Amino acid sequence: MARNVKSQGGKFIYALVDVGEESPAYRVTGLNKERVYGINVGNIGAVVSDIQSGRVRPERRHLMAHRAVLAHLLELGSVLPMRFGTIASSSPAVQALLSSNRVAIEDQLQRVRQRVEMGLRVNWDVGNIYEHFVAMHPILREMRDYVMQEEHNRREEKIELGRMFDRLVQEERERHTAAVIEVLRGYCEEVVANPTKHEKEVMNLACLVDKAGQAEFEKGVFQASKRFNNDFLFDYNGPWAPHNFVDLDLQTPSQSANRAAVG
């Protein structure tokens, strides 16, 4: 358990991977500059480093070390990234975790084998998103003009105006997202639409792409962008470990791992 990590030699788990006859020598250091190595059961393994605490704060240096390990593993093969902060109490605990979930892990590794995650964010590239929508939607402009009249400037009407704006923004997001996904399905294995993070963000997509098909994915982004005018900014990124395409809730025998979750 987490409280016994120091005495047992805790293991910070970065990812689950395919294992060949020999574990590779990882050319990267982990959290606190610790050596990164594998703990294996059969043809699957966990990539770990030693840690003397049962919990790790998500500080920038720790997150960067975590990402660096995942990036290195992605160069070597298929990766099931673990959620940041997954810690097992000992090497036997890691082996028990692998043994208890072996079939599920193998299935998920097959799903992402020779694939990477690419991201695509699309934003409205306009100065004021509200004024942009007022100009684009006569119904919103009429409601705005009505509410701004002194005799109609009541709180309830302002609230309704805000709701109308939010509804139109969401409808536009859904319509544009569907249009982009329609194009990208020809260039990706799978596409996931994640929640938008700010008002000007139109969509935040995660795309599962064949490692050898990254150039084709870029072509797909270009093809999708041609459907839009200059009010939209397309920004793709990656490759990343496939966080958004791993559906694996690990069972932790005897509470042997803390927060054993993938993604």
Span 92-140, pLDDT tens digits: 999 999 999 999 999 999 999 999 999 999 999 999 999 999 999 999 9
pLDDT of residue 250: 81
Closest CA to 199 of 166, 159, 154: 166
pLDDT of residue 1: 34
pLDDT of residue 257: 47
Answering whether pTM is above 0.95, one says no
pLDDT of residue 100: 93
Tens-place pLDDT, residues 143-166: 888 887 766 567 788 888 899 999
pLDDT of residue 262: 57
Residues of the chain predicted below pLDDT 50: 1-7, 255-259
pLDDT of residue 249: 80
pLDDT of residue 5: 40
pLDDT of residue 20: 73
pLDDT of residue 253: 62
pLDDT of residue 259: 44
pLDDT of residue 185: 93
